[in-house]
Amino acid sequence: MSLDRSDVEKIAHLARLQIDEADIPEYTQNLSNILDLVDQMQAVDTSSVEPMDHPTDAVQRLRIDEVSEENQRDKLQSVSPAVDLGLFQVPKVIE
C-alpha cells in the first residue's frame, strides 16, 4: 500500500505539523515503507491468535478515589507564556 502526497499533507495537518514542501516526497516514501511492512506481516496466519490489547499482558490497577493533589497553580503556570486571572491565555479560538 502506498501513500500519495495528499495523504501526507492531510496527516501533517491533523497532527498540526508544519512540513517543508521539499521534504514531502521523502516522508511519502518513508511512511509508505512502514505500511508495506505492515502489509508484509498481514501474510502471517494469525487466525488462531487472540489479539492483545496491550504489549504487556498485565491488567489495569485501580486507584482509590481520594483527592491527593494540592493546588500548585503558581508553580505549574510559571512555565506558561501567558497567564492572567489564573487562566492560561491562548490566541483566540472560536469554532
Partner 1 sequence: MEWEAVIGLEIHAQLATKSKIFSGASTAFGAAPNTQACAVDLALPGTLPVFNGEALRMAVMFGVAIDAEIGRKSVFDRKNYFYPDLPKGYQTSQLFHPIVGPGHVDIELKDGTHKRIGVTRAHLEEDAGKSLHDQFPGMSGIDLNRAGTPLLEIVSEPDLRSAEEAVAYVKKLHAIVTTLGICDGDMSQGSFRCDCNVSVRPKGQEEFGTRTETKNINSFRFIEKAIKGEIERQIDLIEDGGRVEQATRLYDAEKDETRSMRSKEEANDYRYFPCPDLLPIVINDDYIDQVRDSLPELPDARHARFMEQFGLGDYDAGVLSAYRNLADYFETVAQVGGDAKLAANWVMGELSKFLNSNDLDIDDSPVKAEALGQLLLRLKDDTINGNAAKQVFEAMWNGEGDADQIIEAKGLKQVTDSGAIEAMVDEVIANATPQVEQYKAAEPEKRGKMLGFFMGQVMKASKGTANPGQVNKLLKGKLDALCD
Q: Is 16 in the site for partner 1 (CB under 8 A)?
A: yes
Q: How many chain residues interact with partner 1 (CB under 8 A)?
A: 37
Q: Is 1 in the site for partner 1 (CB under 8 A)?
A: no
Q: What's the half-sphere exposure (Cβ side, CA atoms, 13 Å) at 43? A: 5
Written as nine digits, the cell of 86 is 489564573
Residue 54: exposure state from Cβ atoms within 10 A (0-12, 13-18, ≥19): exposed
Q: How far is the CB of 78 from partner 1 (least distance, A)?
A: 12
Q: Is 77 in the site for partner 1 (CB under 8 A)?
A: yes
Q: Is 91 in the site for partner 1 (CB under 8 A)?
A: yes
Closest C-alpha among 33, 25, 27 to residue 1: 33
Q: Which residues bind partner 1 (CB under 8 A)?
A: 10, 14, 16, 53-56, 58-69, 71-73, 76-77, 82, 84-95
